[in-house]
Structure 1
Amino acid sequence: MPSPDLAERIARLEAIEDIKALKHRYLRACDAKDPGEFRACFIASGASIDYGRLGSFDDADGIARVFERIALQQVDGKNVILDMHHAMHPDITVHSATGASGRWTLKFRQVNLLDGTETVTTGEYDDEYVIEDGRWKMSKCHFNRYWSITRPIGDDCRVDQAGAGG
């Protein structure tokens, strides 16, 4: 039998890995334009969301609607907002068996085919996590933008999109 101290350390490490997997599911849902999985990463009700210019919300349903409105836009059956999220440098603190907090650095790139622009942004996520229905979920997700650069994409720029199935 492992000692209680060892069991606690293993449980803490497992929680950290589960929280990392949660954040990665969230990021993949953003880029894959999957509103159901995006919403499922947050608690059922009462999440504190602050995404700066995209808005602040006291429940994840509000940001899920914004996500759908922006990310799912199409022209001629093609996406016109293309996102790439890379979160790194996780700093996760497990406070209890059911609560944790974390910070992540985000590198974000967006191609906006409606405006003909590419934007690169970096900043920091400040998250809180709780266990809900046996899984870690975000109860707080605040994003603080450090800087951003937007530049036009020229007429000579080609953007290829994979069809259904890649």
Structure 2
Amino acid sequence: MNDVTALREIEALKQLKARYCRLLDAKDWSAWRELFSDDFVSDTTPSGGKYIEGADDFVAFVRRMLGSTRRVTVHQVHAPELELISESAARGIWALHDIVRLLPGLTMDGYGHYHETYEKHDGQWRFKSSTLTRLRADLKTPILSIRLPMRR
């Protein structure tokens, strides 16, 4: 793969992740589902969450957890470390800052990393796996802020 092609593929992976954040926060579940391979694996156990196999099950779970229009989310990712393994496989790490309105007056403000793999099929990159690790998560109310302990 030449340098120009590699840069185009890296940019396509950045666009995929940007759509992930935008569509998740917009709660556009059908468009968001299209970003994942059918056999996608989500592992949020390092940050106290669940291990889920299958894109349909993952999207359904996230929709149940965050689907309410009252549960506003903001996902921002930064500083991608992307590596092309082959013409159809890649991996990456993204710094994450997310804000999730859990209840009226209660918000989680989190920081961590996505560790991901990607596969290209029919000319489109899709998420193959994602592991979420957290460095910090703060619960905030209008009058109180509590730092949650993280497993190391």
TM-score (norm: length of structure 2): 0.87
| Structure 1 outlier segments of 4+, above 6 Å | none
Question: Structure 2: any 5+ residue segments left out of the alignment?
Answer: 144-152
Q: Which residue of 2 aligns with 1:49?
A: 42
Q: Is the 8 A contact 1:26 1:37 kept in 2?
A: no
* TM-superposed deviation, 1:95: 1.1
C-alpha separation in 2, matches of 1:22 and 1:138: 8
Largest Rg, 1 or 2: 1
The equivalent position to 2:62 in structure 1, one of 59, 64, 67, is 67
Q: What amino acid is the match of 2:122?
A: D
Structure in which a larger fraction of residues adopt strand: 2
C-alpha separation in 1, matches of 2:41 and 2:106: 30
Figure out how many residues of one structure are paired with residues of the other and give that number.
141
Q: Is the 8 A contact 1:25 1:37 kept in 2?
A: no
Q: What amino acid is the match of 1:112?
A: L
Q: Is the 8 A contact 1:122 1:145 kept in 2?
A: yes
> Structure 1 residue 22 and structure 2 residue 16: aligned?
yes
Question: Structure 1: any 5+ residue segments left out of the alignment?
Answer: 1-6, 74-78, 155-166
SS at match of 2:33: helix
What is the percentage of aligned positions where both structures have the same residue? 25
* TM-superposed deviation, 1:54: 3.9
Q: Deviations over 1:44-63 (max 9, x none)?
A: x2112112344111211121
The equivalent position to 1:80 in structure 2, one of 54, 70, 82, is 70
* TM-superposed deviation, 1:70: 2.0
Q: What amino acid is the match of 2:142?
A: I
